[in-house]
């Protein structure tokens, strides 16, 4: 993957309720924030406790 492609890509997590969480780029910092946001939403909206691994498994990389 080139640097340009890495910058254009983003990571998306789609919750079962239809909500989308996006993190721009491939930076691990952004991914951490994405995981935290999903975990917070799962707890607040669905009373679900997601682990980091579970959220990681839900991440889709889109161009």
Q: Is the dihedral of CA 17, 61, 24, 54 positive or negative?
A: positive
Q: Return the range that interacts with Zn ion (CB under 5 A); candidates 4-12, 27-35, 37-45, 54-62.
A: 37-45
- The span from the CA of 63 to the CA of 10, in Å, is 6
Nearer to Zn ion, 6 or 45 (CB): 45
Nearest Cα residue to 11 out of 27, 2, 19, 23: 23
Q: Return the range that interacts with Zn ion (CB under 5 A); candidates 6-14, 23-31, 40-48, 54-62.
A: 40-48
12 touching Zn ion, by CB under 5 A: no
Q: Where do contacts with Zn ion occur on this chain (CB under 5 A)?
A: 15, 17, 19, 45
């Amino acid at each position: 993957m080139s640097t340009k492609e890495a910058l254009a890509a983003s990571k998306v997590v789609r919750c079962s309720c239809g909500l989308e969480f996006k993190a721009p780029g491939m930076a691990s910092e952004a991914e951490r924030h994405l995981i935290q946001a999903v975990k917070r939403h799962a707890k607040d909206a669905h009373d679900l406790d997601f682990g980091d691994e579970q959220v990681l498994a839900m991440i889709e990389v889109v161009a």
